[in-house]
Amino acid sequence: MPTGLVALLDDVAGIAKLAAASLDDVSAAAGRAGTKAAGVVIDDTAVTPRYVVGFSPDRELPIIGKIALGSVRNKLLILLPAALLLSAFAEWAITPLLMLGGAYLCFEGAEKLVHSLGGHHDEADGEEAVPAFEEPAAIEARKVSGAVRTDLILSAEIMAIALADVAEKSLATQAIVLAVVALLVTAGVYGVVGLIVKMDDIGLHLSRRDNGLVRAVGRGLVKGMPVVLRALATIGIAAMIWVGGGIIVHGLEHFGLTPLPHLIHDAAEAAAHALPAIGGFASWFVQALGSGIFGVAIGALIVGGLKLVKR
């Protein structure tokens, strides 16, 4: 009996170690996948605040909550099963689909850039004309619906990038990693968005305090938020183009079309050697710049092609 108990405890210890190792693998894989999807996450964060512009402050957080709930549904009920099916039955399709998504990001970023440079801000924001006398609840529902549709596209990119990073893992590990990435990204993005859109209210509250320093901070927040929102819009456009271009560049390398990927890689290495004190940043910046230039070119070609088709 004692021998049997020891053997049982050894088995339990072995299972516990295996489970711990599996959890470590999942955590590491989720971390790597989330890091690789960071560019799209930045884009998602930058895009979302515009959907609550024009609503009363008491409706801002409820609207963000509805969009976040729609984002979770997108990721867990639509994209996660689709990603697992692709991994199990059509793994070859992951890279082409990533490249198509990258091309879409380049197109959207280039279109926004063209409209921004041309001064057509309303079109660049993608806002539809608001019907006269439309009920606030209908406007809110329409805004939320549009935000959830946009989130579906960006979430598909996030999930595809995460899936590509864990393609060699077991199906169960893939499912857990994708679910973890989905929940963490959603919580992170919409938590930051909620903080951004309420920052002016926080600043207004602080500006009414008795302490002079606190009042100054509050006034700074109120005055600074329009600048922050404009900066986020610019970052969002840049992120679309750089991430989209980077995805296509990696896809070209995957299919053996290496001249452009090697050119960007060599330029990044040269920058790192030239600036050893900031080698990591210099390498990243040159790679992002190269991907961004290529992304602008791809996006401009698609925008121009669509204009020709319309004509």
DSSP class of residue 128 equals: P
Mean pLDDT, all residues of the chain: 78
Assess whether pLDDT exceeds 90 at residue 144: no
- Residue 244 contacts residue 299 (beta carbons within 8 Å): yes
Where are the chain's structural domains? 12-121+134-228
The rounded percent of the chain whose pLDDT value lies above 70 is 78
- Rounded CA gap, 102 and 251, in Å? 10
| Of the candidate ranges 47-61, 143-157, 252-266, 290-304, the one whose mean pLDDT is the lowest | 47-61
Assess whether pLDDT exceeds 50 at residue 125: no
Q: What is the pLDDT of residue 16?
A: 40
Q: pLDDT by residue (tens digit) across 218-233?
A: 888 888 877 877 787 7
Q: Residue 260 to residues 36, 98, 105, 241, 293: CA-CA distances in angstroms?
A: 20, 18, 19, 17, 12
The rounded percent of the chain whose pLDDT value lies above 90 is 13
- Residue 127 contacts residue 61 (beta carbons within 8 Å): no
Diameter of the chain by CA atoms? 86
Average pLDDT over residues 120-133: 48
Q: What is the pLDDT of residue 19?
A: 40
**Which residues have CB under 8 Å from 165's CB, separation 6+?**
29, 32, 33, 36
Angle CA(41)–CA(44)–CA(50) in degrees, nearest 5? 155
